Amino acid sequence: MKLFWKAFSVLHRFFDIIIHTLFRIAYFGKRDELPPINNLLLLSSATSLATKIRKKKLKSVDLVNLYISRIKEVNPLINAAVNFRFEAALEEAQAVDELIACGLKTEEELERATPFLGVPLSVKELIAVKGMPFTAGLVTRKNVRSPYDAETVKLMKAAGAIPLATTNISELGMWYESYNRVYGRTCNPYDTNRSPGGSSGGEGSLIGAAASVIGIGSDIGGSIRMPSLFNGVFGHKPTPEVVSNFGSYPSSGEREFVPCLSVGPLCRYATDLIPVMKVLSGKNYSLLNLELPVKMKELKVYYLEDVGNHVMFTKVDSDMLNAIHKVLNHFGNAYKIVPKKLEFPSLKYMYLMWASFISSCKGPTFSDELSEGKGKINFKLELLQWIFGQSRFTFPAIVLGMTEKSVIEGSDHYLKMLDDLKRELIMTLGDDGIFFFPSHPTVAPHHNEAIFKPFNFSYTAIFNVLGFPVTQCPLGLGRENLPVGIQVVAAPYNDRLTLSVAVELEKVFGGWVSPSKIVE
């Protein structure tokens, strides 16, 4: 039997290579170049921009106009932003400039009450922004507009941020490519032949293209972290039940928190992560102790390069392995820390643990949500209609709808395995340990390539069901000039560790790399 599975793994690896090669051939020579960046303000962090606005060195109207122009330049190529509130945003920016000009509040008062005053913001489309389309990628919701702001949007607005646009997603946020029948397909700014990831792919793409500086996404299986990896930006999945889910779609009903689902920030600069998290965590701010300093030399460092040779997952490629090794070398050289490799054989079953936990949570099925609770969908008919280009749904949504009942439903075996893994990891990490883990087996795949590698998202998804905070950190570009990166994991409520490590890695390795030429 072992010989059989070894042979099967070899064939699986060969299949992955063939598929990737065929996609490279199919897309050869079709890449679009993004317009150059010709204003250095587009290379400033959100916190530094807010400081300039408070000090009257920059007008919010000018900054908002700059980002509107950048969106108009790049969006025809990447289709990341799908709804716009430019006119309202300019009116809000004008009000900010008038508030600052009148001098009623000091700089310190403005910083304390509104740390992002006058700074543009983008928001994932399935997170409610008052008056904006709120489709979640469903054709049946294409005329729905939100009558309210999600709690996270409300908090960012109260902190002075100005929403400019909402960004593309996958249907109901349940696939790791951002494509739907309402808005079409989003492209990766580094290579428009490639996926930006999902389901916060529009956010990742827009921020990676320097057309947004900070954004709000959500993550149930890696939906913040995969787009952050593929588009070369930072993203944080907070500890569950810290940041409110209210105002996300599918609705969580009267529950403010949902197991596995976390709302969190995406940004180009790691220095913005903690300030944004202070705002997003709202009344739960004290749970994370974000003000406590983190001393790098006192951290315990653990890592794992892959989950072993398993037939469900693509082999972790050399770009991703090199990213892990250079981070480990840094901690060894700079802080004399000897990283310890962990061994968790149960991680080979991380997809099954994720699927078991998701199906054990009481709530509507994916099929129920696709139909909006209005009867059953005939997925066989939808598949036939899809073949002729007539279905309301994308192929991944149809397949998931057809197969979700066959997925493990609350398997006690895998749930126990998950509990054991969580307990062991918490004991290992404690309150001063970090765990480096691959973000994904590969760099950004080509459009539709993920269909042939459906379980690779498990490298991020396992931490949703474990309930651990994770920060995705960019580490430059790999062989194909596509972003590489790493996940930084900590025990629950130790978000400050992963966020501080992100700042450290940005200082050492540079963080985000512009996909556009910079004209000074």
Helix (H, G, I), strand (E, B) or coil at 19: helix
What's the CA gap between 316 and 305, in Å, rounded?
8
Whether residue 199 lies in the annotated active site = yes
Whether residue 60 lies in the annotated active site = no
DSSP 267-280: ES-GGGHHHHHHHH
Whether residue 406 lies in the annotated active site = no
C-alpha to C-alpha distances, 229 to 42, 457, 472, nearest whole angstrom = 20, 12, 7
Nearest Cα to 417, choosing from 364, 495, 363, 360? Answer: 360
Helix (H, G, I), strand (E, B) or coil at 223: coil
Helix (H, G, I), strand (E, B) or coil at 166: strand
Which one of the listed residues 45, 60, 212, 223 is annotated catalytic? 223
Which one of the listed residues 199, 200, 439, 458 is annotated catalytic? 199
The torsion angles phi and psi of 477, rounded to 5 degrees, stand at: -115, 150
What's the CA gap between 37 and 129, in Å, rounded?
28
- For the beta carbon of residue 488, count every other beta carbon within 10 angstroms: 25
- What sign does the CA torsion over 182, 187, 188, 194 have? positive
Which one of the listed residues 45, 59, 124, 157 is annotated catalytic? 124
The contacts of residue 205 (CB under 8 Å, 6+ apart) are: 78, 80, 167, 168, 178, 186, 187, 188, 189, 196, 227, 231
DSSP 26-89: HTTT-PPPPPPB--GGGGS-HHHHHHHHHTTSS-HHHHHHHHHHHHHHHHHHH--EEEE-HHHH
Nearest Cα to 119, choosing from 101, 98, 146, 92? Answer: 92
Question: Which two tokens mark 79?
Answer: 């289709």
Q: What amino acid positions are annotated as catalytic residues? A: 124, 199, 223
